[in-house]
Amino acid sequence: MNLLEDLQFRGLVNQVTDEDGLKELLNKEAVTLYCGFDPTGDSLHIGHLLTILTLRRFQLAGHKPLALVGGATGLIGDPSGKKAERTLNEQNIVEQFSDKIKGQLSRFLDFKGETSAKLVNNYDWIGSMSVIDFLRDVGKNFGLNYMLAKDSVESRISSGISFTEFSYMILQSYDFYELYKNEGCKLQIGGSDQWGNITAGLELIRKMNGQEEDERAKAFGFTIPLVTKADGTKFGKTEGGAIWLDPEKTSPYEFYQFLLNTDDNDVIKFLKYFTFLSQEEIEALEVEVAERPHERAAQKRLAEELTAFVHDEAALKQAKNISTALFSGGDLKQLTADEVLQGFKDVPSFTTETNIGLIDLLVNAGISPSKRQAREDISNGAVYINGDRCQELDKVVGNEEKIDGQFTIIRRGKKKFFLIRYE
């Protein structure tokens, strides 16, 4: 399969401005393309990953990706898909966010070789532009009726949209023109909500070049679907919030478990979207889902491939170790301190001295409400130390009960875990 055929097999082609023309261009030359990422937070999330991976697919096919960090547009706010105005961040905050997002993007693309990726920041060309230059040189190319007809603007007319967000389309369009002019960029990709901004950029390129039909001036737009689950809800959201690409915000274990819990109705689609597995491998896993869904082979492969890509093989190994210890009868005592912190990130914790009686520990940590209840819990077999049931009323918790010399995990009943730390 060529690149476009592979993207179509994976369901990644949503809209293309000129599919035949783009196919011809991709077959004829190495194409420079770009996708923008606005620094509205200090980390990208799993929803951004689809466009990052699509850039990567183009790169593997011999094309050159530009990853644009919106240091300027991040100060404005994209109205696309939003029902109300964004809260604007101060410039120093946006600069901090930009640096962090640059670091993340640099992990997912190859910055060496003939198709070396490049990071760019639109603050470099928009930040120094005067209001007069913006209005005379760029803004004059946009008719009001043309802009009002775009979905990102039209959907906000009734609820209200400021001139600041109204101008976002012009700024993103200018990005495309700037990269077209200085980097030879002929293709912009983005999520389906970016279609209006992308086509506006193509219109600006046409007008500012002053060449109606010159093939040398022709550029293209390409969108991929927004990722939704079979039940129609947005992919990448949990009760605890978004699934982030920053391991400090979403640990590799949490990331792995999120993917491992993918519904059977979604897993094949997500394997196509998010992995580089071949068509034959994906079709074989589709058979597994249909014939042996209880084995969850497709979910395991999805979680393994994506955790290793976003984090690394060592993080994947940790995530699997934690999962085995918690859910498959593994030995908690074999976990490392880092694995304990990931696996028990959200459980109550208590700090104590070494060599403390179990009854006192249960009461002091708030695991049992009283010494009498603590004795009953121990006698009834409801207390577990590092996964092992303990019914010794005179048990002293000491160095032998420490995991990696730092933690002890107490469980009361079936599901109530407590993390014991030591002074």
Please identify which of the residues 42, 99, 193, 312 carries the catalytic annotation: 193
Active-site residue, 238 included: yes
Q: Give residue 305's identity as a one-letter amino acid code.
A: E
Active-site residue, 64 included: no
Cβ atoms of 282 and 272 within 8 Å: the answer is yes
Active-site residue, 86 included: yes
Q: Which residues, in sequence order, are bridge partners of residue 32? A: 64, 185
Active-site residue, 193 included: yes
Please identify which of the residues 211, 238, 334, 354 carries the catalytic annotation: 238
Cβ atoms of 221 and 35 within 8 Å: the answer is no
Active-site residue, 229 included: no
Active-site residue, 233 included: no
| CA dist., res. 247 & res. 274, Å (int) | 18
Q: Check the annotation: does 172 bind a ligand.
A: yes
Q: Which residue has the tokens 């070396």?
A: 116
Q: Which two tokens stand for residue 88?
A: 């604007």
Please identify which of the residues 136, 140, 181, 234 carries the catalytic annotation: 234
> CA angle, 285 as apex, 279 and 288 as ends, to 5°?
150
Q: Check the annotation: does 34 bind a ligand.
A: yes
Cβ atoms of 334 and 321 within 8 Å: the answer is yes
Q: Check the annotation: does 237 bind a ligand.
A: yes
Please identify which of the residues 51, 59, 73, 172 carries the catalytic annotation: 172
Active-site residue, 107 included: no
| CA dist., res. 61 & res. 55, Å (int) | 10
Active-site residue, 269 included: no
| CA dist., res. 97 & res. 108, Å (int) | 18
Please identify which of the residues 10, 32, 48, 301 carries the catalytic annotation: 48
Please identify which of the residues 23, 82, 229, 402 carries the catalytic annotation: 82
How many CB atoms sit inside 10 A of residue 379's CB? 12
Please identify which of the residues 15, 18, 42, 45 carries the catalytic annotation: 45
Contacts 24+ apart (CB under 8 A), 409-413: 409/332, 409/340, 409/344, 409/385, 410/361, 410/362, 410/365, 410/367, 410/383, 410/384, 410/385, 411/383, 411/384, 411/387, 412/362, 412/367, 412/368, 412/377, 412/382, 412/383, 412/384, 413/382
Q: Check the annotation: does 146 bind a ligand.
A: no
Active-site residue, 237 included: yes
Please identify which of the residues 40, 115, 164, 336 carries the catalytic annotation: 40
Numbered residues of the known binding site for ATP: 237
- Annotated binding residues for L-tyrosine, written as ranges, equal 34, 168, 172
Residues recognised as catalytic:
40, 45, 48, 82, 86, 172, 193, 234, 237-238
Would you list which residues are annotated within the binding site?
34, 168, 172, 237
